[in-house]
Amino acid sequence: MVMCKCGRAALMKTSKTSKNPERRFYTCPQMRSKCKFFVWIDPPVNSPPSPELGFHKAPNHSSSIEVRFEELKHEIRRKDAALVMSWCILVGLLVLILVVVLISLLLKPS
């Protein structure tokens, strides 16, 4: 319960103006009171976009290049890791084949 400045229970109303359609607010229950109590309940209808959104919509030139550079660095690092991984697998397979051949040679009855 929200109390008005004049001590009465504040009245919840809904704005019908074009600037604030369906926006609720608290006001004084006395129409011609002098307290002029008025508090919005809902956030502004056409609230300005947040700085983060503005940044994504129109990124500044140098920072977008920086972001691209970071992405590329990340990509190269990822490809390097993949390359190293495939080399490890290849070498591992070769060693395995070598071991199998050696074992079969050693176990061959002479």
Interface residues with Zn ion (CB under 5 A) are 4, 6, 28, 33, 35, 37
Query: For Zn ion, which is the closer residue by CB, 19 or 32?
Result: 32
Instruction: Quote the least distance from Cβ 31 to Zn ion, whole Å.
Output: 10
User: 46, 21 in Cβ contact below 8 A?
Assistant: no
Instruction: Quote the least distance from Cβ 7 to Zn ion, whole Å.
Output: 7
Query: For Zn ion, which is the closer residue by CB, 4 or 26?
Result: 4
Query: For Zn ion, which is the closer residue by CB, 41 or 103?
Result: 41
Instruction: Quote the least distance from Cβ 25 to Zn ion, whole Å.
Output: 13
User: CA torsion, points 37, 42, 45, 48, in degrees to nearest 10?
Assistant: 100
How far, in Å, CA of 43 to CA of 56, rounded?
A: 23
Query: For Zn ion, which is the closer residue by CB, 3 or 103?
Result: 3
Collapsed DSSP state (helix, strand, coil) of residue 52? helix
Instruction: Quote the least distance from Cβ 5 to Zn ion, whole Å.
Output: 5
- Phi, psi of 48, deg, nearest 5: -65, 145
User: 69, 76 in Cβ contact below 8 A?
Assistant: no
